[in-house]
């Protein structure tokens, strides 16, 4: 079961997700050790694989560094649920085969520590703690295809 780590914040930016001082590497395992460091220094200590990050608007704004997505993937974050995502981050997620869940009002429906179960196909989040089923709009088909292929480059290869 995935636990929610809720940050009642808008505009969580890529400098907070992976600070630029670590951009001298693209080693995913190393990036993962600094995941979310400038937002919450405790994040990696309390995070368990498959746990979910929940935020407000404009998650991932700022730099185009895909390192932000790699750090999140490397840390085995199960999902990121946000009211909205910054454009480049959103696109990077899809390109890396990571499903960004856009859910307006997520901060009203999910509390820190809630146990969640996500059904990507159906577009639903089962909030076990609150006994609530929450719906989200699934990714459009073309993006889903890329995610299901494991990212853009695999997708390009598969198409050939």
Partner 1 sequence: MGMTITEKILARAAGKTSVQAGELVNANVDMIMCHDVTTPPAISMLKEKGIDKVFDPEKIVVTPDHFQPAKDIKSAELHKRLDSWAKEKKLPYYYKLGRAGVCHALLPEQGHIRPGEVIVGGDSHTCTYGAFGAFSTGIGSTDLAAAIATGVLWFKVPTSMKFTLNGSFGKGVYSKDVILEVIRRIGTDGALYRAMEFVGPALKEMTMEARMTITNMAIEAGGKNGVIGFDETTKAYLDGRLKGKTDYTVFESDADAEYVHEDTIDCSALEPMVAFPNLPSNGKTIGECAGEAMDQCYIGSCTNGRIEDLRIAAGIIKGNEVAIRTIVVPATPEIWKQAIDEGLAEIFYDAGCVVSAPTCGACLGGFMGILAEGEKCVSTTNRNFVGRMGHPKSGVYLASPATAAASAVEGKLADPRNYL
**Token output for 71:** 């750090």
**Token output for 48:** 């368990």
Give the nearest distance from C-beta 133 to partner 1 in angstroms: 28
Q: Which of 33, 48, 64, 137 binds partner 1 (CB under 8 A)?
A: 64
Identify the helix (H) or strand (E) that includes residue 132: strand 132-135
Residue 51's nearest CA partner among 118, 133, 139 is 118
Give the nearest distance from C-beta 61 to partner 1 in angstroms: 6
Residue 19 is a binding residue for partner 1 (CB under 8 A): yes
Give, as one character, the DSSP assignment of residue 52: E
Residue 66 is a binding residue for partner 1 (CB under 8 A): yes
Give the nearest distance from C-beta 26 to partner 1 in angstroms: 4
Residues ≥6 apart with Cβ < 8 Å to 6? 54, 55, 107, 110, 111, 112, 113, 114
- Which span sits near partner 1 by CB under 8 A: 44-52, 99-107, 120-128, 150-158? 150-158
- Residues in the interface with partner 1 (CB under 8 A) total 39
Identify the helix (H) or strand (E) that includes residue 145: helix 141-148
- Site track 20-39 with partner 1 (rule: CB under 8 A), x = hit: xx-xxxx-----------xx
Residue 73 is a binding residue for partner 1 (CB under 8 A): no
Identify the helix (H) or strand (E) that includes residue 153: helix 152-159
Question: Could you list the residues that contact partner 1 (CB under 8 A)?
Answer: 10-11, 13, 15-16, 19-21, 23-26, 38-39, 57-58, 61-67, 69, 84, 86-88, 91-92, 95-96, 142, 151-154, 156-157
């Amino acid at each position: 079961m995935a636990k929610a780590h809720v940050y009642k914040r808008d505009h969580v930016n890529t400098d907070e997700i992976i600070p630029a001082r670590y951009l001298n590497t693209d080693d995913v395992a190393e990036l993962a050790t600094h995941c979310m460091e400038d937002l919450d220094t405790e994040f990696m200590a309390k995070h368990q694989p498959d746990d979910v990050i929940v935020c407000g608007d404009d998650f991932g704004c700022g730099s185009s560094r895909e390192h932000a997505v790699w750090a999140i993937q490397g840390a085995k974050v199960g999902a990121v649920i946000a009211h909205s995502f910054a454009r480049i981050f959103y696109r990077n997620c899809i390109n890396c085969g990571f499903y960004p869940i856009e859910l307006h009002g997520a901060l009203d429906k999910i509390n820190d520590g809630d146990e969640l179960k996500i059904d990507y196909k159906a577009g639903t989040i089962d909030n076990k703690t609150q006994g609530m089923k929450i719906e989200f709009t699934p990714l459009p088909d073309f993006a889903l295809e890329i995610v299901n292929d494991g990212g853009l480059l695999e997708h390009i290869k598969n198409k050939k």
